[in-house]
Chain A
């Protein structure tokens, strides 16, 4: 009885799908080769190095001590540098900020604004709600992120911005 029901349910489903034009054998071959792959833009090590250099330069000029992470489009670490005297904790805060920016596609500090408005559910997403993380955008898509920690968070963000700006020079 149970088997009969299942079979008839499947039959009914097939009829419905056919009616919708969805049950035809999927024509895999019809998919053009270029449509089979999604091509990602990501940050190269050369770019990461350049960004970190610019970031560090601004920090040094202002006597800020920072640590900087650059992550690629998948969140994989591409490069890192920590200035002497920058707190060891900044190794982690900088990375968390970069991850946050990467995941939301916006500055990590934008989360903080949401929290100020009482959007506490944001805290459950493992996001780091402090300034200092910025996404890297290529053709409007997130291609990586930079995260800075160690100084005041507004200063961290300035350094991160210097890094982003370096890419357009």
Chain B
């Protein structure tokens, strides 16, 4: 019985530490961190994205992906990888261009998942280790917002020169403006 109590307390303590770490990670992402103050990534929300709405549909995800690919082709990002997730972080759509680097596969999914479950653009913080293995501090993940609700997120990786976020933004704009490429 005593043992159980101790275990329970440890678990609670660990949870508290983890929560604090996540809070710090996110507040760092929102504060005027060097990366943001120098050149704020256009479209990076200064506040959390809106609360969650319904899950992004596969049709919507395909529109976003098509726009992302078109933009990637335009800037000759032959190694781009794209992942689109629903608000919970579960994968909906994924594509890897033929010339991509292997690690981009993991990064794209991690960015999408991080943006979805934190409701924030990724990479706004000062870097460093994210508080949980599920979160990633690299830029290139953006929440997808439709009708004032967050319906999912996109993660882009493998674009030279930090162009991941720009492609993600172009992709999301296509959905918001109703373009169907």
Contacts and interface: CB of A to CB of B under 8 A. Distances in A.
Interface of A: 44-45, 48-49, 56, 76-84, 88, 91
Given A45-B96, A45-B97, A80 B91 contact: yes
Nearest to A77: B105
Contacts of A56: 58
Nearest to A81: B93
A91 B91 CA distance: 7
B57 interface: yes
Contacts of B58: 56, 81-84
Contacts of B90: 82, 88, 91
Contacts of B97: 45
Nearest to B69: A45
Given A44-B98, A76-B105, A79-B95, 10 more contacts: A45-B97, A45-B98, A56-B58, A78-B96, A81-B58, A81-B92, A81-B94, A82-B92, A84-B55, A88-B88
Interface string B42-64: 00000000000001011001100
A80 to B, nearest CB: 4
Contacts of B102: 76
Interface size class of B (residues with CB under 8 A): 10 to 19
Q: Is the interface of B mostly helix, strand, loop or mixed?
A: mixed
A77 B96 contact: yes
Contact of B94 (A77, A83, A84): A77
A11 to B, nearest CB: 47
Nearest to A78: B96
Contacts of A82: 58, 90-93
A30 B87 CA distance: 59
Given A82-B58, A84-B55, A76 B93 contact: no
A74 to B, nearest CB: 9
Contact of B96 (A76, A83, A84): A76
A55 B94 CA distance: 15
- With a 10 A CB-CB cut-off, give which of B93, B98, B105 has the most chain A CB atoms: B98
A49 B94 CA distance: 10
Nearest to A80: B94
Contacts of B88: 88
Contacts of B61: 81
A121 B102 CA distance: 32
Nearest to B61: A81
Nearest to B99: A45
A64 to B, nearest CB: 14
A79 B94 contact: yes
A100 B102 CA distance: 20
B55 A80 contact: no
A45 B95 contact: yes
Interface in B66-123: 88, 90-98, 102, 105
A79 B96 contact: yes
A109 B102 CA distance: 28
A45 B92 CA distance: 17
Given A77-B105, A82-B58, A83-B58, A48 B95 contact: yes
- With a 10 A CB-CB cut-off, give which of A49, A56, A78 has the most chain B CB atoms: A78
A44 B99 CA distance: 10
Contacts of B55: 84
